[in-house]
Amino acid sequence: MDIQPLKIDGAYVVTPRQFPDGRGVFMEGFRGDKLAEHLGHRMDVVQSNISVSSRGTVRGIHFADVPPSQAKYITVLSGSIIDFIVDIRVGSPTFGQWESVVLDTSERKAVYLAEGLGHAFCALEEDSTAMYLCSAPYTPEREHGINPLDTTVGLTLPDDIEPLLSPKDEAAPSLAQAEASGLLPRYDDCVRFYDSLRSA
């Protein structure tokens, strides 16, 4: 299993080693001990979510209050998605920037994003099935969103995709509006929280 950091602090791409034979393929989908070597702490997985999306579905940009927020480990079980990690931590050196990783059933990559980062994805195929391992349970009153089509953020979707959003995501504020209203996490608060996890 190869784990590499992305340019946004707290985000990683994970590429498993696959073992194919005449029966199919086997791989390790998640290794908490290997991930901990990079994070400095174990990811405490307390909830698993599965979403099935039609082609063009865009989910996000979602985030939760820090602490505890939600660290996420995302992979695809069928189909393919473009996964987006967005730095929405006010004061971060990469605030407002994003990275994307294609998750599919060929390379079977996964992405990890730390607490305080924004997450979104776009489904590239019908019935694309994503699985998320989460470090904290879903808590509606602590969950927030940013419109994934906000031109300031500028997520790049394929030209042949007609984005399909939920009413909640369509009504979500822009990054600037979320910052002005105090919704966004602060980078220094996130760093203190990461340090507390490492020292626990």
Query: What is the spatial distance between Cα 14 and Cα 33, in angstroms, rounded to a whole number?
Result: 13
Query: What is the spatial distance between Cα 182 and Cα 152, in angstroms, rounded to a whole number?
Result: 18
| Cβ atoms of 132 and 36 closer than 8 Å | no
Tokens 């602060």 map to which residue?
186
Query: What is the spatial distance between Cα 94 and Cα 113, in angstroms, rounded to a whole number?
Result: 14
Q: Which residues are catalytic?
A: 62, 132
| Cβ atoms of 81 and 128 closer than 8 Å | yes
Q: State which amino acid sits at residue 82.
A: I
Contacting residues for 151 by C-beta, under 8 A, at least 6 apart:
none
Q: How far is CA 66 from CA 4, 79, 88, 128, 197, in A?
A: 24, 32, 12, 29, 13
Query: What is the spatial distance between Cα 54 and Cα 74, in angstroms, rounded to a whole number?
Result: 18
